[in-house]
Amino acid sequence: MSSFLKILLKNVLGGPSTDPFPFGPTFEPKRLRGRVVVDPDKCMGCGMCRNSCVAGAIDITKDAESKGWTITVWQDSCCLCASCRTYCPMKAIEIVPDWHSAHFEEDKYSRIEQHTIEYQPCAVCGKPVRVLSLAKAQELYRNDPDVDPELVRHMCRSCRQIKDAEAHVEILEAIPRKAPKQDAAAPEAEAKA
Ligand code: SF4
Ligand code: SF4
């Protein structure tokens, strides 16, 4: 059999070696930047992502009655630079490898990632507060087994500070305090007067 026929037979029996897309599934590069996704459980509404977005693709609007805020990412404006992901202090932004972004022109304004996040009453004083994610509370208090992360994440900052101070009052009292500095210029000024 000629070498040509051998190759032909091998290719016919082996089937196509190219990717079947668009008639079948295709591969997805691991670190492909396809689409920005926000985790509403982690977002604290700080605005860092909006401030760092070179494309102006992120909007954060406070609720008119101060009950919370809405974060919106305009996917058609996003250039997938990942700046928002880099600067988000809560690690609330991810860029997933979903590359299925083909759409009709009239759908361009509906391609958004949007979440409305509401404040909840502080578990102690009732003041409206953004509840921390459980993972963040566990991370913050990982060295303090006496603190219940589930409770503390529902408390406002002031109540958390008071609770922390109460829990560590013995440590605070044991810290030696420096005597207040004497103002050397004061007596002289008084003498001149
Ligand atoms: S996504 Fe991150 S950076 Fe943006 S507002 Fe929420 S916490 Fe802040
Ligand atoms: S990836 Fe870049 S362009 Fe897209 S929303 Fe984030 S900061 Fe803006």
What the chain holds in terms of domains, given with CATH numbers, is 29-118 (3.30.70.3270), 120-175 (no CATH)
What phi, psi does 97 have (nearest 5°)?
-80, 15
pLDDT level of residue 193 (50, 70, 90 thresholds): very low
For 17-110, where are the E strands, in sequence order?
A: 35-38, 58-62, 68-74, 93-96
Residue 29 is predicted with a pLDDT of 86
pTM score of the predicted model: 0.77
Residue 68 is predicted with a pLDDT of 95
Q: Report CA(49)–ligand 1 centroid distance (Å).
A: 5
What phi, psi does 93 have (nearest 5°)?
-115, 135
Q: How far apart are the first and last CA of the chain?
A: 119
User: What CA–CA distance (Å, rounded) separates 111 from 77?
Assistant: 10
User: Other CB atoms closer than 10 Å to residue 166's CB: what's the count?
Assistant: 9
Residue 28 is predicted with a pLDDT of 85
- Asked if pLDDT for residue 182 goes beyond 70, the answer is no
- Asked if pLDDT for residue 177 goes beyond 50, the answer is yes
Which has more confidence, 166 or 41? 41
Which has more confidence, 143 or 52? 52
The tens digit of pLDDT for each residue in 155-174 reads: 999 999 888 888 777 776 77
- Please give the average per-residue pLDDT across 111-128, as a whole number: 95
- Asked if pLDDT for residue 11 goes beyond 60, the answer is yes
* Residue of 90, 94, 136 to test ligand 1 pocket, by largest number of atoms within 8 Å of CB: 90
Q: Which of these, 104, 107, 31, lies nearest to 74 by C-alpha position?
A: 107
Which has more confidence, 149 or 146? 149
Q: Report CA(37)–ligand 1 centroid distance (Å).
A: 11
Please tell me what DSSP assigns to residue 165.
H
Token pair for 33: 């930047």
Whether the CB of 73 sits within 6 Å of ligand 2: yes
DSSP 3-state assignment of 158?
helix
User: What CA–CA distance (Å, rounded) separates 38 from 91?
Assistant: 9
- Asked if pLDDT for residue 21 goes beyond 80, the answer is yes
